[in-house]
A and B are shown apart, each in its own frame.
Chain A
Amino acid sequence: MNSTVNLLVGAAMGLNLVALGSSRIPTVIRAVALQGMILGTLPLLMETHFDWRVAGIALVTIAVKGLVIPNLLQRAMRAANIEREIEPFIGFIPSLLLGAAGTVAAVAGARALPLLPEHAGTLLVPGAMASVLTGFVLLVGRVKAIGQVCGYLILENGIYLFGLLLIKSTPLLVESGILLDLVVGVFVIGIIVDRIQRAFDSLDTRKLTVLRE
Chain B
Amino acid sequence: MNALLLIILPFVAAALAAVWPSERTRPWLLPATGLLHTALVLWMLVHPPAFAPEAWLAFDPLARALLPAVSLLFLVCAAYGISYLSVRAERSNRMFVALMLAMLGLLSAGLQARHLGLLWIATEALTLAAVPLLHFNATPRAFEATWKYLLVGGTGIALSLLGSFCLGYASLHGGGGGDLTFTALTTQGANLSRPWVLTAWVLLLTGYGTKMGLAPMHTWKPDAYGEAPGIVGAMLAGGVTTVAFTALLRVRAVVASAGAGPIADRTLLVIGLFSMVVAALFLLGTRDFKRMLAYSSVEHMGILTFAAALGKVGVFAALFHVWGNSLTKGALFLSAGNIRRAAGARTMDEVRGMSLLTPHSAAIFVTGLFIVTACPPFGPFFSELLVVRAALETHHGVAVSVFLGCLLFAFFGLTRLVFAIVDGRPRPATRLTAQRFPETAGVIVPPLILLGFSLWLGVATPDVLREAWTAAVAQLYPAP
Residues of B within 8 A of A177 (CB): 117-118, 121
Q: Are B151 and A211 in contact (CB under 8 A)?
A: no
Q: Are A181 and B124 in contact (CB under 8 A)?
A: yes
Q: Are A166 and B161 in contact (CB under 8 A)?
A: no
| Cα–Cα distance between A165 and B169 once the two chains are bound (Å) | 7
Q: A205-B147, A213-B285 are in contact. Are A184 and B128 (CB under 8 A)?
A: yes
Q: A113-B199, A166-B178 are in contact. Are A185 and B128 (CB under 8 A)?
A: yes
Residues of B within 8 A of A132 (CB): 162
22 contacting pairs across A/B (C-beta < 8 A):
A114-B193, A114-B196, A116-B172, A139-B155, A145-B147, A156-B158, A159-B162, A159-B165, A162-B162, A163-B165, A169-B178, A174-B117, A181-B124, A181-B128, A184-B128, A189-B150, A189-B154, A192-B143, A196-B143, A200-B143, A211-B141, A213-B291
| Cα–Cα distance between A155 and B150 once the two chains are bound (Å) | 14
Q: A170-B168, A181-B125 are in contact. Are A188 and B131 (CB under 8 A)?
A: yes
Residues of A within 8 A of B139 (CB): 199
Closest to A187 in B: B128
> What's the least CB distance linking B222 to chain A, in Å?
7
Residues of A within 8 A of B138 (CB): 195
Residues of B within 8 A of A155 (CB): 155, 158
Q: Which of A136, A145, A170, A199 contacts B140 (CB 8 A)?
A: A199
B286 at the A interface (CB under 8 A): yes
Q: Are A113 and B286 in contact (CB under 8 A)?
A: no
| Cα–Cα distance between A174 and B161 once the two chains are bound (Å) | 11
Residues of A within 8 A of B178 (CB): 166, 168-171
B173 at the A interface (CB under 8 A): yes
For window 40-99 of A, CB contacts with B under 8 Å fall at none
A108 at the B interface (CB under 8 A): no
| Cα–Cα distance between A171 and B49 once the two chains are bound (Å) | 27
For window 169-188 of B, CB contacts with A under 8 Å fall at 169, 172-173, 176-178, 180
Q: A181-B128, A188-B131, A200-B140 are in contact. Are A113 and B172 (CB under 8 A)?
A: no
| Cα–Cα distance between A165 and B120 once the two chains are bound (Å) | 18
> What's the least CB distance linking B102 to chain A, in Å?
12
Closest to A148 in B: B151
| Cα–Cα distance between A71 and B324 once the two chains are bound (Å) | 47
A208 at the B interface (CB under 8 A): yes
Residues of B within 8 A of A213 (CB): 222, 282, 285-286, 291
> What's the least CB distance linking B280 to chain A, in Å?
14
B23 at the A interface (CB under 8 A): no
Interface size on A, residues (CB 8 A): 44
| Cα–Cα distance between A205 and B140 once the two chains are bound (Å) | 12
| Cα–Cα distance between A132 and B155 once the two chains are bound (Å) | 10
Q: Are A211 and B195 in contact (CB under 8 A)?
A: no
| Cα–Cα distance between A12 and B166 once the two chains are bound (Å) | 21
| Cα–Cα distance between A163 and B286 once the two chains are bound (Å) | 42
| Cα–Cα distance between A195 and B141 once the two chains are bound (Å) | 12
Residues of A within 8 A of B117 (CB): 170, 173-174, 177-178
For window 105-146 of A, CB contacts with B under 8 Å fall at 112-116, 128, 132, 135-136, 139, 145
Q: Are B173 and A116 in contact (CB under 8 A)?
A: yes
> What's the least CB distance linking B206 to chain A, in Å?
12
> What's the least CB distance linking B108 to chain A, in Å?
17
Q: Are B128 and A196 in contact (CB under 8 A)?
A: no
For window 193-213 of A, CB contacts with B under 8 Å fall at 195-196, 199-200, 205, 208, 210-211, 213
Residues of A within 8 A of B168 (CB): 166, 169-170
> What's the least CB distance linking B130 to chain A, in Å?
10
Residues of B within 8 A of A184 (CB): 125, 128
Q: Are B148 and A192 in contact (CB under 8 A)?
A: no
Tier of interface size on chain B: 35 or more
> What's the least CB distance linking B121 to chain A, in Å?
5
Q: Which of A136, A152, A162, A170 contacts B180 (CB 8 A)?
A: A170
B146 at the A interface (CB under 8 A): yes
Residues of A within 8 A of B132 (CB): 188
| Cα–Cα distance between A185 and B150 once the two chains are bound (Å) | 9
Q: Are B125 and A152 in contact (CB under 8 A)?
A: no
Q: Are B155 and A152 in contact (CB under 8 A)?
A: yes
Q: Are B131 and A192 in contact (CB under 8 A)?
A: yes
> What's the least CB distance linking A61 to chain B, in Å?
15
CB 8 Å contact bits of B205-237 with A (1 = contact, 0 = none)? 000000000000000001100110000000000
B467 at the A interface (CB under 8 A): no
Q: Which of A165, A168, A174, A211 contacts B148 (CB 8 A)?
A: A211
B144 at the A interface (CB under 8 A): yes
Additional A-B contact list (7), CB under 8 Å, known A114-B196, A166-B165, A174-B180: A116-B172, A139-B151, A165-B169, A169-B177, A177-B118, A188-B128, A192-B131
> What's the least CB distance linking A129 to chain B, in Å?
9
B135 at the A interface (CB under 8 A): yes
| Cα–Cα distance between A178 and B122 once the two chains are bound (Å) | 10
Q: Which 5 A-B pairs have CB atoms at the shortest separation, nearest pair first?
A: A169-B178, A174-B117, A208-B144, A199-B140, A211-B223
| Cα–Cα distance between A158 and B173 once the two chains are bound (Å) | 20
Q: Are B145 and A188 in contact (CB under 8 A)?
A: no
Q: A114-B195, A116-B172 are in contact. Are A152 and B285 (CB under 8 A)?
A: no
Quick one: which of B125, B131, B150 has the most chain A CB within 10 A?
B150
> What's the least CB distance linking A106 to chain B, in Å?
13
> What's the least CB distance linking B178 to chain A, in Å?
3
Residues of A within 8 A of B121 (CB): 174, 177-178, 181
Residues of A within 8 A of B176 (CB): 169
Q: A113-B199, A211-B148 are in contact. Are A152 and B158 (CB under 8 A)?
A: yes
Residues of B within 8 A of A135 (CB): 158
| Cα–Cα distance between A211 and B121 once the two chains are bound (Å) | 30
Residues of B within 8 A of A116 (CB): 172-173
